[in-house]
């Protein structure tokens, strides 16, 4: 079985622990960062600990601790965009013709625990959701490197749930991906980090993603429909920048977001309009979309394998108004 871990606070102490059936087995040692934890805890060692007598002596109930993000704020937060086939089609793109991997970053100050409130800034009109599979790196990559499905386990430690919340009225008209996606609380991660062996990496190709708003399903898809997979993405990134153990790669979101993207024809027509006119039309279309989040909405995100071997838990974010 894959190993599921959690980072948590209990009795004024931050710890890591194994998760099984709503209970946590605290792990020995203290690790200030995700990188420290990954380096010090290979999956085989965690499995041995789980089977030892020590693992049965100090269980804690999940409900009795404060769950924290398994990704600490020192790590890089790298994202892929338009990376599911249906989402690309929904956005007016041809997934079979796309020749580039859309990459951007989010500020690490937006990272919060899985069940944090989602604060909607007063100036944001169109707040959107994006469930994503996040991958945690297992090692530093400091030069151009070829990553394949066969050696992916050497580079990826495990998986988490990410919600890439986005202020569309900033991201799109201002062409500000970083700014529109980096407001504080816009990056909940967790609750669980699933650490996988080489044999378990196959599950990354068939994880089920489901997002609901107030109980209504908005997004539902499988990682089988990713356009650019983890191996080719890490290969490409390795030729651009340094990557470090514990860094987070968020792999894109399925179709079903609140954002309404104009058809390719309308986009071509819009390109001929004055900027002010074009974005006024964009805003008018978005105003008619009641799918955008508002105060009081509850967003729930789940990712798991069909056989239940991988279960990343449930994120629950209630939307509240900010300043």
- Using pLDDT thresholds of 50, 70 and 90, give the confidence band for residue 56: low
Q: What percent of the chain has pLDDT over 90?
A: 81
> According to the model, what pLDDT value does residue 276 have?
82
Model confidence pLDDT, tens digit, residues 267-288: 676 667 788 888 888 889 899 9
Mean pLDDT of 56-73: 92
Residue 103's beta-bridge partner residues? 80
> d(Cα 138, Cα 273) in Å, to the nearest integer?
48
Model confidence pLDDT, tens digit, residues 73-105: 999 999 999 999 888 887 777 888 878 899 999
Helix count and strand count (H, E) for the chain: 8, 20
- Nearest residue to 223 (alpha-carbon basis) of 210, 237, 232, 242: 210
Note if the pTM is more than 0.85: yes
> According to the model, what pLDDT value does residue 261 have?
77
- At residue 212's C-alpha, the angle toward residues 210 and 217, to 5°, is 80
- Nearest residue to 186 (alpha-carbon basis) of 212, 162, 161, 165: 165
- Using pLDDT thresholds of 50, 70 and 90, give the confidence band for residue 52: confident
């Amino acid at each position: 079985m894959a190993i599921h871990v959690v980072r948590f606070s209990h009795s004024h102490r931050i710890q890591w622990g194994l998760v099984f059936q709503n209970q946590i087995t605290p792990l020995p040692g203290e690790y200030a960062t995700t990188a420290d934890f990954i380096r010090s805890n290979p999956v085989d060692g965690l499995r041995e600990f789980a089977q030892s007598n020590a693992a049965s002596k100090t269980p804690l109930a999940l409900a009795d601790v404060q769950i924290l993000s398994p990704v600490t704020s020192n790590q890089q937060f790298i994202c892929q965009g338009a990376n599911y086939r249906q989402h690309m089609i929904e956005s007016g793109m041809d997934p079979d013709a796309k020749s580039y991997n859309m990459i951007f970053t989010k500020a690490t100050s937006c990272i919060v625990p899985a069940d944090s409130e989602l604060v909607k800034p007063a100036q944001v009109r169109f707040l959107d959701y994006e469930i994503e599979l996040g991958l945690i790196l297992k090692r530093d990559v400091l030069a151009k490197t070829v990553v394949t499905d066969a050696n992916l386990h050497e580079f990826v430690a495990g998986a988490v749930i990410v919600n890439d919340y986005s202020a569309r009225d900033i991201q799109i008209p201002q062409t500000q991906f970083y700014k529109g996606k980096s407001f504080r609380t816009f990056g909940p991660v967790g609750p669980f980090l699933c650490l996988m062996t080489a044999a378990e990496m196959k599950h990354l190709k068939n994880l089920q993603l489901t997002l609901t708003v107030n109980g209504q399903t908005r997004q539902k898809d499988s990682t089988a429909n990713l356009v650019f997979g983890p191996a080719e993405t890490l290969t490409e990134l390795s030729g651009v920048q340094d990557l470090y153990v514990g860094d987070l790669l968020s792999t894109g979101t399925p179709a079903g977001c609140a954002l309404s993207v104009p058809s390719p024809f309308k986009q071509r027509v819009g390109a001929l309009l004055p900027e002010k006119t074009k974005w006024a039309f964009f805003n008018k279309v978005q105003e008619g979309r009641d799918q955008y989040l508002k105060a009081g909405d509850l967003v729930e995100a789940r990712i798991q394998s069909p056989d239940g071997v991988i279960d990343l838990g449930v994120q629950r974010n209630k939307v509240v108004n900010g300043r």
